[in-house]
Structure 1
Amino acid sequence: MFLSRLLDPVKSAAREAGAELWHMYQSGDFQQQQKTDSSPVTSADLAANRIIIDRLSELTPTIPIISEESNLAPLSQRQDWPRYWLIDPMDGTQEFVARSGDFAVSIALVEHGWPALGVIYWPKEDVVYYASRGHGAFKQQRNLINRISVNNHQPGDRLKIAISRRQPLQPIVDLLQSQDEVEYIALGSCSLKSCLVAEGKADCYLRLGPTGEWDTGAVHVIVEEAGGKILDSEFFALSYNQRDTLANPDFMVMGQASIPWPQLIKARRTERSLSI
């Protein structure tokens, strides 16, 4: 009941933040700078961040908030939090700057170390993906709501893999055990590619390179409620709020459980996955 009561106000907060992003995107009235890790941040990210934090603080004053665009509390302070909000006010800042429209608002509630509620809003398409643990995953476009599930992939079907518009393809190709019957689907935003898997438009998404826990929190519950899995590059579960930084290892978003994923995708250990 607690999660179900939160869904509508969280969807509203995501839409409000997304509307502000879309206004600034269309007007071009935003400033860009680089963070210390050389990734871009814009005044639009910060405006959406303020909206979401204000709305969540009003909704649940006692639940702490972790955001990509806010200072991170030390692990000693946050490691015993029973629940917290985990947000990315704009997933896909590079897509925002590049004018592709493939950016999204991401809001998750993490309970006892695992995502329990997730909302993704895509302003360009006015689409909300959402889920709460144990209650299924859904896609809402305007007033039309449909339950979503991973693709019913059959033996012999072409494997559909979601890929980034901005990253080279070859590292992804190198992870595949076979190159036969593969179709690549390019889209921006980490969370939107994961949602492609959740709604059955792609069978998997292989993510290489830096991401944070805010990139997977909301989609994690959406993908799992749709029948899929998100695992690291060694086929182990991701973890949340366990380390000083919130950096993710490389990860895989996988659809239908009956697909023999270890026979299709090479497990690999990386320095990043070993260090976190």
Structure 2
Amino acid sequence: MKTLLAIAIKAALEGGTEILKVYETNFNVEIKDDNSPLTQADKNANTIINSYLKTTGIPIISEENRQIDYLERKKWSQCWIVDPLDGTKEFIKRNGEFTVNIALIDNGDPILGVIYVPVSKELYFTSEDGKTSKKIIVFSEEISVEEIFEKAEIIKPSKITSGVKIVGSRSHLNEDTKKFISEIENNLSAEGGKNKVEIVSKGSSLKFCLVAEGLAHIYPRFAPTMEWDTAAGHAICKAVGVSVIDQITGKSMQYNKPNLLNNYFLVKA
């Protein structure tokens, strides 16, 4: 597992390097069939990440790969799930809040996760046993994976004390989410109003990281997402004891499903 994690980390870092090469140019934006944006950065990062992960012999589900029919995928006990550039809208806005997401799935459960933020150089990853998650700022491209393992610091969620921090998105805040936030505010008022709600806005899979490292308490996602948007963040949260609950099944989110579209979910420490 440590070898697989090391490969995923290398893939994420190299993917991030490819993304920044395009980020610094006057890039073009394409619109895919589902009306989502696509840039050369998505394509370049996908190519380099695939080149690393293919060496493991484990099949890959990536946003930018041709999607394989479930009749084939259901035979897989393990698979990688990749978003080579999560937050393409944030990339286009040039606000830095986009990530590289890589997760390893075992029989539907995320067991390893890596999230890299190319602009800020923040790297989040699970331990090889999936029992902790860590964070490091990768200041140098020359850093080895062994050094990353050695120097990364463990992250932990935080308890609610003076206020409830709820993660929102810069690109998505619909009526269902507003209603959820309003219900929490009403509940807090009924309890005496000691705790207040604060909205923490962030793009891409960084929303999962905020809860995992204790900078927020709850992340409600009542809008469409795909498995590659959530798998890595789910793995990182799961390793620190944060639940990611499917709002239809009431159970932990599952992956490599017949339909790669997620149900609404709630991330809670």
Same fold (TM over 0.5): yes
The aligned counterpart of 1:20 is 18
What amino acid sits opposite 1:9 in the alignment? I
1:183 to 198, 203, 206: 198
The aligned counterpart of 1:123 is 118
* 1:8 is aligned to 2:6: yes
The aligned counterpart of 2:40 is 43
The aligned counterpart of 2:214 is 200
The aligned counterpart of 1:253 is 267
The aligned counterpart of 2:234 is 220
Distance 2:8 2:71 in 1: 28
Query: In terms of mean alpha carbon deviation, does 192-201 or 172-181 score higher?
Result: 172-181
Q: How does 1:59-208 map to 2 (within 5 A)?
A: 60=56, 62-131=57-126, 132-142=128-138, 144-154=151-161, 157-168=162-173, 170-176=175-181, 177-179=183-185, 180=188, 181-189=196-204, 191-208=205-222
Contact 1:104 1:123 in 2 (8 A): yes
Contact 1:160 1:202 in 2 (8 A): yes
Query: In terms of mean alpha carbon deviation, does 125-134 or 114-123 score higher?
Result: 125-134
Contact 1:133 1:221 in 2 (8 A): no
Change (3 A) 1:134 1:56: closer
**What is the number of residues matched between the two proteins?**
246
Q: Offset at 1:173?
A: 2.5
Distance 2:168 2:85 in 1: 19
Distance 2:218 2:198 in 1: 11
Q: Offset at 1:134?
A: 3.5
Q: Offset at 1:171?
A: 3.5
Q: Residue deviations 1:73-102, cap 9 Å, x none?
A: 111011020111110000000000111110
Q: Residue deviations 1:97-120, cap 9 Å, x none?
A: 111110000001111221111000
- Determine helix, strand or coil for the equivalent of 1:178: helix
Distance 1:75 1:175 in 2: 34
What amino acid sits opposite 1:56 in the alignment? L
Distance 1:167 1:110 in 2: 27
What amino acid sits opposite 1:185 in the alignment? V
Q: TM-score, normalised by structure 1?
A: 0.85
Distance 1:194 1:174 in 2: 21
1:31 to 22, 28, 31: 28
Distance 2:69 2:172 in 1: 32
- Determine helix, strand or coil for the equivalent of 2:165: strand
Q: TM-score, normalised by structure 2?
A: 0.87
Distance 1:95 1:218 in 2: 18
Query: In terms of mean alpha carbon deviation, does 157-166 or 143-152 score higher?
Result: 143-152
Contact 2:112 2:130 in 1 (8 A): no
The aligned counterpart of 2:254 is 239
Contact 1:115 1:218 in 2 (8 A): yes
Contact 2:131 2:240 in 1 (8 A): no
Contact 1:213 1:246 in 2 (8 A): yes
Query: In terms of mean alpha carbon deviation, does 9-18 or 170-179 score higher?
Result: 170-179
Q: Residue deviations 1:205-251, cap 9 Å, x none?
A: 111222111111111111011120101224332221221x3000111
- Determine helix, strand or coil for the equivalent of 1:200: coil
Contact 1:65 1:84 in 2 (8 A): yes
What amino acid sits opposite 2:165 in the alignment? K
Q: Offset at 1:170?
A: 4.8
Structure 2 spans left out of the alignment, 5+ residues: 139-147, 189-195
